[in-house]
Amino acid sequence: MKGSERIKVKRLPARGAYDRDTIYAILDEAFICHVGFAVDGQPYVIPTGYARIDDHLYIHGSSASRMLRTLSEGVDVCVTVTLVDGLVLARSAFHHSINYRSVVVLGKAELVANREEKERALEAFTEHIIPGRWPEIRWPNELELKATSVLKLPIEEASAKIRTGDPKDDDEDYAMNVWAGVLPISETIGRPIPDSRLGNGIAIPPHITSYPRKK
Amino acid sequence: MKGSERIKVKRLPARGAYDRDTIYAILDEAFICHVGFAVDGQPYVIPTGYARIDDHLYIHGSSASRMLRTLSEGVDVCVTVTLVDGLVLARSAFHHSINYRSVVVLGKAELVANREEKERALEAFTEHIIPGRWPEIRWPNELELKATSVLKLPIEEASAKIRTGDPKDDDEDYAMNVWAGVLPISETIGRPIPDSRLGNGIAIPPHITSYPRKK
């Protein structure tokens, strides 16, 4: 990982991590990123899905979208992924915090022109969000492939930032009669809602009933 | 709301909304935003808490942080808030999607210099994340107030983007023998984890046992 000055976690540096294992574990658990790019000096931050294949992050969207067109010109981009794990409730307002794991990737995105790589990325988007679904669905046809742009960003200049555990209060505040601790937050998957046009007799497949994503 | 060209939802414009009720409902339900700003042309996207008071969005952080210092210089900023509601599982890969509600606010942030407004914002950060907690905790002292910067951003140029409901497949794909529908995702609050240094006999207060935040 490139140890550039600008990617370093400067505030509370003990929370920073730069190893691929830590960074990839966060990228592989989440599935929504926030993509930052500037147009005429104005930053935009857009939520979108993504997938990781080896040391690249892939995003995709309509070939007509401003974000995809802007990014494919090779501008500087920042992709941030955040998992929220809990509310950190301290005795003092000042030490309230959030337990979280986040990753920031800086770099320049590149349009994926190679057909095979593009299809592999499209498969990865679906499989990252819901493993086991790709073999069951209709794959993209020529028109759909043309209408979709896929971009890749090397995971070279990246950092993770992680906060876990108890609140850290000032010494004199520990004597206060205030409940302190962590209120955990996790994502829960609800009961599948069938499409109103779902054909009769189509059962919920195992890749949905055993959906593994949990925070 | 300012109907600027750059804030308009251009892709799938039917998903865009510009009224304050819709935008504020999303801002009031979520509690993490992603703040985008550029330093020397490089965009950064940083997750942080926020609060809304009337027609302003407030964020805060260490007075020493790069983000707070950069934003207080009055640069262009983009604040994005995203709630993920479900995985949209279509019959074709192309029509897979996410049900979500997001808000984008563009503008320039301003340092809050007024003492009373700053304290009101600090209260709002805590109360937005966990209502009822502010009266029970130690409020910021002089040193803590100095160490904290609060910024406000007018909610003037803002849009919401919302996707709900069933997948939309191509007509000919509805005959496929593939389960389609939505897998709902929501945030769940777990059992409170007491601070390892919590004093004996301090019970979990009602503002935690009846924590109202649910997606």
pLDDT digits (tens, 9 = 90+) for A181-201: 999 999 999 999 999 999 999
| Domain that residue A150 falls in | 13-83+99-165
Is B56's pLDDT higher than 70? yes
Digit-coded pLDDT (tens) for A56-72: 999 999 988 888 889 98
Q: What six digits make up the tokens of B7?
A: 């804030």
> Best residue in A138, A188, A200, A202 to probe B by mutation, most B CBs within 10 Å?
A138
pLDDT, mean over chain B: 94
Residues of A with Cβ-Cβ distance to B11 under 8 angstroms: 61-62, 64-66
State the complex-level ipTM. Answer: 0.95
Digit-coded pLDDT (tens) for A94-119: 999 999 999 999 999 999 999 999 99
Q: Cα distance from B178 to chain A (closest Cα, Å)?
A: 7
Task: Say yes or no for a CB contact (<8 Å) between A10 and B66.
Answer: yes
Say if B1 falls within a structural domain.
no
Residues of A with Cβ-Cβ distance to B193 under 8 angstroms: 86, 181-184
pLDDT band at B214 (very low <50, low <70, confident <90, very high): low
What pLDDT is attached to residue B94?
A: 97
What is the tally of structural domains in chain A? 1
* A172 has a chain B CB within 8 A of its CB: no
DSSP codes of every residue in B198-214 = PPTT-PPPHHHHT----
Residues of B with Cβ-Cβ distance to A11 under 8 angstroms: 61-62, 64-66
Say if B161 falls within a structural domain.
yes
* A98 has a chain B CB within 8 A of its CB: yes
What pLDDT is attached to residue B215?
A: 41
Q: pLDDT above 70 covers what percent of chain B?
A: 99
- The mean-pLDDT minimum among A86-90, A129-133, B7-11 falls in B7-11
Task: Say yes or no for a CB contact (<8 Å) between A42 and B100.
Answer: no
Q: Which of A37, A82, A197 sits opposite B32 (nearest CB)?
A: A82
Q: Scanning the structure block, which residue is given the tokens 């969005």?
A: B57
Q: pLDDT above 90 covers what percent of chain A?
A: 81
Say if B6 falls within a structural domain.
no
Is B11's pLDDT higher than 80? no
Say if A62 falls within a structural domain.
yes
Q: Which of A41, A92, A144 sits opposite B138 (nearest CB)?
A: A92
Q: Scanning the structure block, which residue is given the tokens 């974000």?
A: A67
* B38 has a chain A CB within 8 A of its CB: yes
Rounding to the nearest 10 degrees, give the CA dihedral for residues A80, A85, A91, A96: 10
Say if A74 falls within a structural domain.
yes
Residues of A with Cβ-Cβ distance to B64 under 8 angstroms: 11
Chain B from 45 to 64: CB within 8 A of any A CB: 45-47, 49, 61-62, 64
Indicate which CATH number applies to the domain containing B185: 2.30.110.10
The separation between CA A46 and the C-alpha centre of its own chain, rounded to angstroms, equals 12
Beta bridge partners of A182: A88, B193
What pLDDT is attached to residue B2?
A: 74
Which of A179, A139, A1 lies closest to B193, judged by CA?
A: A179
> Best residue in B137, B149, B173 to probe A by mutation, most A CBs within 10 Å?
B137
Say if B194 falls within a structural domain.
no
Say if A112 falls within a structural domain.
yes
Which burial class, exposed, middle or buried, applies to B171 when counting CB atoms under 10 A from its CB (0-12, 13-18, 19+)?
exposed
Say if B3 falls within a structural domain.
no
Single pTM value for the model: 0.96
CA angle A85, A179, B136 (to 5 degrees): 105
Report whether B187 contacts A184 (CB < 8 A): no
Give Cα separations from B120 to B71, B113, B140 (angstroms): 20, 12, 11
Rounding to the nearest 10 degrees, give the CA dihedral for residues A22, A25, A27, A30: -130
| pLDDT (mean) for B151-168 | 97
Is B73's pLDDT higher than 80? yes
What pLDDT is attached to residue A64?
A: 87
